[in-house]
Structures are given as structure tokens and as C-alpha cells.
Structure 1
């Protein structure tokens, strides 16, 4: 991270490189202002060791090329900056996430307040405006859980609800009976913290009772499940719902869009505290009569898979578990992850500094408690979560007599982006595992 900085280069003399920043930010999406005096950029987080690293939500900054001063834009916005576009008049249009929504906000200058541009509920994924100021029109990509992505044009940023679609690439989905959704809210029964998530109902079963439940946990952990249309190997809640499952996507504490304090509540208790967020949701869904208490299932990818591993060491209530690219031992994570500063910060230090923290938040030391049939997915070349973690989990469960299946994708990394068939195979096999064990057909394990 010490060398993750913004630089400039003289195109007439490519050997001359100037370092413009000297900090611990993850800078991305750089835009040069029209007058050439500022660089606008997004940041992910900051800090170069476990003592000063603070993994906050996405920010938008402006770098003064004359003084070197960095100023935060949209200081009054409490959510996660998802993206932005810089306008010819010096203002910015900001894609800001609050809770499950990503809307458009404007800010004329760093001294001004951000203004919410009222549009449709859902997620504005990308936005663009004319760099020359010849038109006030804006183009954007938009979707919601029940409306697939398309590109739209609005005559003015304040006329978003009158925007017209200029593409029709996903019309096929509008002809299908898609799952209906709603936001579901509950409280952690230990600290009374309000948590929310998205419920995806099987087509034709909106708000019916006693449905089989599949909890799909997002990764990150600093991410969130959104009011956005997705149907892929990672965001596949709608696919599972079409197969008859009521799917809950929980935005547990640590998720973005709920304020910095909510994001950082995950520190020191990366798994144990999240357990109560998830299990409180289960208890409330049962209490409300929404789910069948005998048909509970859980899964996730990356951090979602890691939390799944932990959950099935804490309870035997789940019939089936889906563990994708997950960690089972935190010391191994510290030594192999491509972003070690994140692990060190979340755990409170290095393994030799806080060994109990690493042990207390590693599922491997409670593996003998697992009774849940578990499907495991990993990628051969994963540098975010080493495949050895999945090998350890599979070997441990097999030795314990727990039904387990390991699926390894060759020549793939964490994002499964090298072969599109791999994502299809992943979801297909996970659905088969849910169908086999998810309805309460799991074997008795002594």
C-alpha cells in the first residue's frame, strides 16, 4: 500500500514521473478537472498498518495539483460513494449508496451541501454527462430488483423520473415471472442493533408463509446487497428464488451504506458478532411465520463463505451449507491473502500480537461441531482466499463423516472470470446440493 499512489508523467519526456500523493489511500477512478488544477478521485480505505488502517466507506476526494492538498467532497453524505462523474462547470454527480439504494446526488463545490436528485428507487450503476457543457442531458445505467439493467437518457439531472431507455438488451427478463422482493428489518437480540436485508420470494408466492429459506451472505465484508437486478454466479438470489427458495440477503453489521460506525462494528469480532445478526434474522422470520423452521439453509462466497463456515460450527439448525472461496483458519489468511492489511486491521494485529483473536475467529478449531452437509467451491489460483483453506475444510468434514463435496475450478482466480462456464457450473451444483439436503433430508451424524 505504501506505493499505491497517484503519479503524473510528462508525455514529452516519459522518464519524468512525479509522485502527487503520499498517503495510505486506495485511489481509483481519476478525473482531471477542466482547468487542469485538480484531480477528482475515489478512495476505498486508508492506513498502512493495523494501527492506523481504518476501512471506511467509499469517499470522493479532490487533489489540488498546486498545493498538494486533498479535500474530501460530499462530506455531509453518510453513505458509500459508489461512483461519480465530473461536470464541465466543476460540479459532480455522485452515485451514493444509502441502505439498499444507490441514488444520484449533486454537489456544486466542496463548500456546498449535496443535493439528492429524486429518481426511481433502485441502483444507478453508472452515470455520464457532457464534458463540454453543451447539453444538460445525462446518461446512466439503472436497474432494480424487478427491473433489469438498461441505459437511459434524461434531459436534466433533476428529471430522472422522465428518463427514456435507449437500450433494450435485457427485455427477455421482463417477459418472465420474476421473484418479488421486499426489505425485511429485524434487531440483533444481543445489542438491539437494527439490521435489514432483502427477501426474494419465489414467483407466485409473494408473502406466503412457511417457505423454505436460503440465506445468501454477501462478501466483502464491506459491501452490501442492493436493490439491483443481478443474475450471475455471485449475485444469484433471484436464480435461487426461481427454484423455489425464499432467499434472504442480510446486510449484517460491517456492510456499507449504513454509516461508518456500522461498517467498523465488525472489527475484533469478524465472525462471532455476525452470527447473532444472522441467527436473529432466522428467529424473527420463524416468529413471523414466514419460513419453515425445518428448512433452513445458508451459503455465501468469499467472506460470505467464511461466515457460513463459522455459522455451521455454532448451530446445527441448517440443513445445507454452501461455502465458496472461504477461510477456515485466520493465520493462514494473514499469510496468503493479497490484502494482508485488511486482515491485520480486522483482527486487531498480527497473529503473534493477538493470537487469541485469530484462534477465536477461526472455524477450524470448532470443526467437530459441524453436522451440516456442506458444498465447497474454490479456485485453483485464488490469491484472495487460498484454495488450501477449502482443502482443509473438505478434509476435516470428510474425516468427521459430514457429507461434503469439493468443486475446484482450474486456471481461475477469486472472481471466476476466466471461463464463463465456471460460474454456471458453480450455481448449478449449489442448487443441486440445496435440492438434495435443503428440505431436511440430511443424514444423521453422531
Structure 2
């Protein structure tokens, strides 16, 4: 093609992912709210179920990104890790919050995750849920939360801070950060979050570790871990499962054998993960939706 005027004579040679042109897809918008404690504006990506853009009183699942740096964006993804479009296609309103610590909002915003690595971003997230309920967008009786890696960290924290969620999905999350530091493959990551090593700031570790607040949990929780995860040792998931079991909270632990943090050894595991998480959401948070078929 020599010039732009010839564009009308161009022929389509390929048609990849044709299926997505034959069905309704979720619509997305940026959603903002205030953290009234310091007047910070927080935003997230809001995915509406197909055909329900701008609808009210929808079942909500909050899917929290990992990192904490890599922020959620208005982009299409179709994998087990970033599955908001799929969850929306299954009937859920999905909020992906870009909490304190996310990239893309300036150095200060990112650095505000340090010293309070769970409680501060956790408040950002809960205030977003509050705003969605206040605006009439989310049904307060059908709320769920979940995340993987740092998203799992925050999920584990938030179920100790509120009983509003009907279901939780914890993936590769930590619950006790001294032992997490001792088993992680990078020895500086956790101390950088907490402001020092465990013997330097022991109170920081205790204040922000969900295990010490676990008696407050009332949320049925589904847990996933890779057996050979060296970024977040699987023992953290075992501790969470045992604690919730002793407390009488509905809990299910799914361990993928020989898998690390990325769950990339067996391509079926990603499908199994999402399928089982959707079943959990259906069972405890929204029975009105049709669950994913095997």
C-alpha cells in the first residue's frame, strides 16, 4: 500500500478470536472514590456484565491486583491471573482497585504502601466498595473479594477487618510475615514493606499479619497455592486453612502439585483455578448466576 487512500481496497486476510465478535462483551469504565482520611483520590477499573452497563444493584466481586506495583488497566486479558473480563461475562460487576502502592500515580502514591502495607491499601479498597454500594451500583448483600499474590495478601487481611463479604478467594497469600520473610526467595521485599527486619520492627509485623486477627473472620474462604511456590511459600496457605477450619469458617484449600507461583507447568491448572473460584462465588455469594461448566 503506497498511501492511505488505498485503505479502502485492503483485504482482510486473518480473523483471529472471531468468537469475540459474535457475543456481547463486558463494558468497562474508570471509577473513582475518595479516601476521606487524607483526601486521596483512588480509582479502579469497573467491569460491567454484558448488556448491563450502568445498571444498578449488581453482584460485586473485587479482584485485587498483585505486586503491589502493577496497576490494573482498561485492557482485555483472558488468563487465570487477570480474569476480570471473564468474571464479568459470568454476571459479576468487577472492581479492580488501584490501591495505594500501585504504579502510575506518582512516587508518593506508590511509596505510601510502605510501613502499612496491608492496612493502608486495605482501607482504600473498602472505601471503594462503600462508594459502589452508596451509589447503588453494587448489591450490599452480594459482595465477594479475591486476589492472587499481593492480591492474596490483601484478601487475607481484609477478611479480618470486615464481615461484609459473602465469599473470599485467596491465591498465594501470606498470613504471617515473619515466617513469610523466612521462606520467600527475595529476602529484602518483605522488610522493605514493613520498615525493617522482624527483630527491628516486630510490632509492625504483628500489627499487619492477618493470623493475629483471624478470630474476626466470618467469610467463607477458598484458598489456592502452588506446592513449590518460592515467592509465597505454600505453608502460608496451610496456616490460613487450618486457622479457619479451627474457627469453624467454611474453607477449601486447593494445592497444585509441582507448581510454583506462576502456575505455568500445566495449562489445565489455570482453568481449574478459575472454575473452582467461580463455584465458590456461586455457592456463597450469588446463587442466582449460572456457574461455569467444566
TM-score by length of 2: 0.92
Aligned with 1:324 (options 166, 171, 193): 171
Q: 1:204 and 1:300, CA in 2 relative to 1: closer, same or farther beyond 3 A?
A: same
Q: Which residue of 1 aligns with 2:220?
A: 373
Structure 2 residue 251 is the aligned partner of structure 1 residue 420: no
Q: Which residue of 2 aligns with 1:219?
A: 66
Q: Deviations over 1:130-149 (max 9, x none)?
A: xxxxxxxxxxxxxxxxxxxx
CA contact (8 A) 2:28 2:74 kept: no
Runs (5+) with no aligned partner, structure 2: 5-10, 289-294
Q: Which residue of 2 aligns with 1:290?
A: 137
Structure 2 CA distance for aligned equivalents of residues 284 and 329 of structure 1: 30
Q: 1:167 and 1:356, CA in 2 relative to 1: closer, same or farther beyond 3 A?
A: farther
1:99-248 → structure 2 map (5 Å cutoff): 168-248=15-95
Counting strand residues as a fraction of each chain, which structure ranks higher?
A: 1
Whose RCO is larger (CA < 8 A, sep 6+)?
2
For the pair shown, the structure with the greater C-alpha radius of gyration is: 1
CA contact (8 A) 1:295 1:440 kept: no
Structure 2 CA distance for aligned equivalents of residues 169 and 348 of structure 1: 48
Q: Which residue of 1 aligns with 2:200?
A: 353
Q: Which residue of 2 aligns with 1:266?
A: 113
Structure 2 CA distance for aligned equivalents of residues 167 and 265 of structure 1: 47
Deviation at 1:439?
Answer: 2.9
Q: 1:165 and 1:393, CA in 2 relative to 1: closer, same or farther beyond 3 A?
A: farther
Q: 1:280 and 1:165, CA in 2 relative to 1: closer, same or farther beyond 3 A?
A: farther
Runs (5+) with no aligned partner, structure 1: 1-154, 157-163, 442-446
Structure 2 CA distance for aligned equivalents of residues 413 and 375 of structure 1: 18
Q: Deviations over 1:85-115 (max 9, x none)?
A: xxxxxxxxxxxxxxxxxxxxxxxxxxxxxxx
Q: Which residue of 2 aligns with 1:276?
A: 123
Q: 1:291 and 1:165, CA in 2 relative to 1: closer, same or farther beyond 3 A?
A: farther
Aligned with 2:243 (options 390, 396, 399): 396
> Deviation above 4 Å: which 4+ runs of structure 1?
164-167
Tell me the matched-pair count: 281
Structure 1 CA distance for aligned equivalents of residues 137 and 19 of structure 2: 30
CA contact (8 A) 1:303 1:326 kept: yes
TM-score by length of 1: 0.61
